[in-house]
């Protein structure tokens, strides 16, 4: 009778699957690192070191009295501002490029032809 009960005691009383929270967070950290590193290998190395230092410091903030979840907010703000800077950079460079093309086109149209009729 004890031989039948032993496997259930070893397996534990809970026969349900429990999600592991650590694995799910690594994917989101990878997205943040790739965004901050601009998908460049060297940039990813430096941004991963940066994110890991922020997260490590976040675990130590509980010693001072802050909640460790505040670091997730800080990382989110950094990512949002980084994405906003990328979008604004693309928009402004497109605007300036269009403005210069229009200016060059207008200056070429206003120049008189200096070719002599032959």
Q: What is the pLDDT of residue 81?
A: 92
Q: How many CB atoms lie within 10 A of CB 50?
A: 16
**pLDDT for 113:** 57
Tell me the angle at which helices 21-36 and 41-60 cross, rounded to the nearest 10 degrees: 130
* Cβ atoms 31, 39 nearer than 8 A: no
List, run by run, the mean pLDDT of 10-residue segments along the chain (118 residues): 56 59 70 88 92 86 85 89 90 87 76 57
Q: Kindly state the greatest CA–CA separation across the chain.
A: 115
pLDDT score, position 5: 56
**What's this model's pTM, rounded to 2 decimal places?**
0.60
pLDDT reported for residue 3: 58
The C-alpha atoms of residue 34 and residue 46 are separated, in whole angstroms, by 10
Q: What single string gives the DSSP state of each residue in 20-59?
A: -HHHHHHHHHHHHHHHHTTT-HHHHHHHHHHHHHHHHHHH
Q: Which residues contact 70 (CB under 8 A, 6 or more apart)?
A: 58, 61
Contact status, residue 47 vs residue 33, Cβ threshold 8 Å: yes
């Amino acid at each position: 009778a004890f031989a039948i009960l032993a496997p259930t005691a070893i397996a534990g009383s809970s026969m349900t699957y429990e999600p592991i929270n650590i694995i799910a967070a690594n994917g989101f950290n990878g997205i943040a690192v790739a965004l901050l590193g601009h998908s460049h290998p060297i940039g990813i190395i430096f941004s991963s070191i940066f994110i890991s230092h922020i997260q490590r410091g976040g675990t130590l903030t509980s010693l001072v009295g802050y909640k460790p979840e505040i670091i997730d907010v800080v990382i989110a703000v950094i990512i949002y501002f980084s994405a906003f800077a990328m979008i604004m950079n693309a928009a402004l460079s497109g605007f300036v490029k269009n403005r210069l093309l229009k200016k060059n086109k207008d200056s070429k149209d206003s120049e008189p032809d200096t070719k002599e009729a032959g």
